[in-house]
Amino acid sequence: MNTRSFEAKQIVAALATAGVLVAGAGTAWRAGHAASLAPAAVTASGAGAAASTAVPGLAALPDFSAIAARYGPAVVNISVTSMSPAAAIEPGDGAEPFGDDPFYEFFRRFMAPNGAAPGLRAQPVRGEGSGFIVDPDGIVLTNAHVVRDAKDVTVKLTDRREFHAKVLGTDPKTDVAVLKIDAKNLPVVPLGSARDLKVGEWVLAIGSPFGFENSVTAGVVSAKGRSLPDDGFVPFIQTDVAVNPGNSGGPLFNSRGQVVGINSQIFSRTGGYQGLSFAIPIEVAERVREQIAATGKASHARLGVSIQEVNQTLADSFKLDKPEGALVANVEKGGPADTAGLRSGDVILKVDGKPIVASGDLPALIGQARPGEKVALDYWRDGSEHQAVAQLGEASDTVIAGTNDRSAGAGTLGLAVRPLQPQERRQAGVEGGLLIEDAAGAAAMAGIHSGDVLLAVDGTPVKSVEQLRALIAKSDKSMALLIQRGHDRIFVPVHIG
């Protein structure tokens, strides 16, 4: 299984063929215990030696040979076997060659169970990834996607010993898995802190790209706290370390020989390394390991809001100094945010004093807290900053789920709207709002169309056509319209200048 990768704004699962985006760094495409050993000293055989022999005027490159030699034995290769489902032939699905034959159903009784043709059965699918030992009694960390749906997991050490591994637990939200092998006195890696990493700092990856065990690659930290689509619980470390299928689950070391992350994903247009690799901070992995050891599963906190990015147009609409924060598009009724007094149209600026620059910073910070914890929220509403305290819930508890007068072209928005009928309000699950019957001009350019329900303008709930006209008259060069489309709500910025 492997290094996951994402294209544009979508992470795709692999078990893929060449040329397809990869998820996981394994060869089946899909893309703590304190260490008893001290971190490898970079002395005469390390960066110090490189510096002493460097050509005057040229910057010395680090030498990771001491780290690779000392901690390479604690990096393992993980082989996984899963079963693909048997191909079943059902009548009328267009797949059977004799579906129109009147005697087909008679002969079908002599086929394998579930309609599968004789001889068709589940086939084994094999993949590979990496991992590392964090406890001498056999605790191994890797990626959850490496061992997903696994029937058999084998851990191979650098001394060529192999062990069947038990999956103690996995956490798909952070892509962390904890394994246990029956062995003692194993080599381990020391754990460091991703918080101490600096952009531009040298880092080292060890893993099994394409099955080549204990391969070493190096690069620098490109960025910290990256938020990726569908991975909101992890503030990723971005590096330019060469990571390929098979590297997934392997360790990312700092220059002091401490593990600071788990290599997890790549961005690729070809299926291979293209200079963008992402690692899970070791603090996130350690928290998951502790929870799995204690309860057998990992839990995550939730605030109970749906959010979106704040662009310049939305910032202008809400009179923010700059386009930062997480714009609250919807608040879950009865959820932690609702209880704390947050509402749609608020812009969350800080959590416990930590700034929210991109909207993805919010779920990453909330995901690092525990259910039941209280967090201090700084948010923007009606042109000024406010504070609230929210007691976080459990992520697994989240619920997945007038008249006929018209206003032709409300102001310069280009909207034709009317109040919702009582039955329309019940169907939409809203208490107010205006049904958009037609959109042109600025509204159409922004992506609004007929059938949408206009709920609010710049955070102010809209209840009548007259109120909408008044809000438009007071607006400046842009407006933020809260639109409900089906069951989704989103703020749409509209230029009206």
Show the tokens assigned to 443.
């509204």
Residue pointed to by tokens 């215990």: 33
CA–CA distance from 9 to each of 175, 228, 246 (Å)? 18, 8, 23
Q: Which of 79, 145, 359, 458 is catalytic?
A: 145
Using alpha carbons, select from 420, 436, 340 the residue that is nearest to residue 388. Answer: 340
Using alpha carbons, select from 81, 82, 111, 79 the residue that is nearest to residue 97. Answer: 111
Quickly list DSSP for 47-87. Answer: HHHHHHTSPTTSPPPP--HHHHHHHGGGEEEEEEEEEEPPP
Q: Which of 171, 175, 231, 458 is catalytic?
A: 175
CA–CA distance from 422 to each of 68, 115, 197, 465 (Å)? 69, 50, 56, 16
Quickly list DSSP for 120-142. Answer: ---EEEEEEEEEEEEETTTEEEE
Q: Please state the length of the chain.
A: 497
Show the tokens assigned to 488.
């989704």
Compute the distance between CA of residue 477 and CA of residue 410 in angstroms, rounded to an integer: 15
Compute the distance between CA of residue 398 and CA of residue 335 in angstroms, rounded to an integer: 9
Quickly list DSSP for 90-123. Answer: -TTSS--TTTT-TTHHHHHTTS-GGGPPTT---E
Compute the distance between CA of residue 327 and CA of residue 345 in angstroms, rounded to an integer: 6
**87 half-sphere exposure, CB direction, 13 A CA radius:** 7
Answer whether 259's CB lies under 8 Å from 246's CB. Answer: no
Compute the distance between CA of residue 462 and CA of residue 470 in angstroms, rounded to an integer: 10
145 an active-site residue? yes
Q: Which of 208, 248, 475, 478 is catalytic?
A: 248
248 an active-site residue? yes
End-to-end CA distance of the chain, in Å? 52
**345 half-sphere exposure, CB direction, 13 A CA radius:** 20
495 an active-site residue? no
- Point out the residues that are catalytic: 145, 175, 248
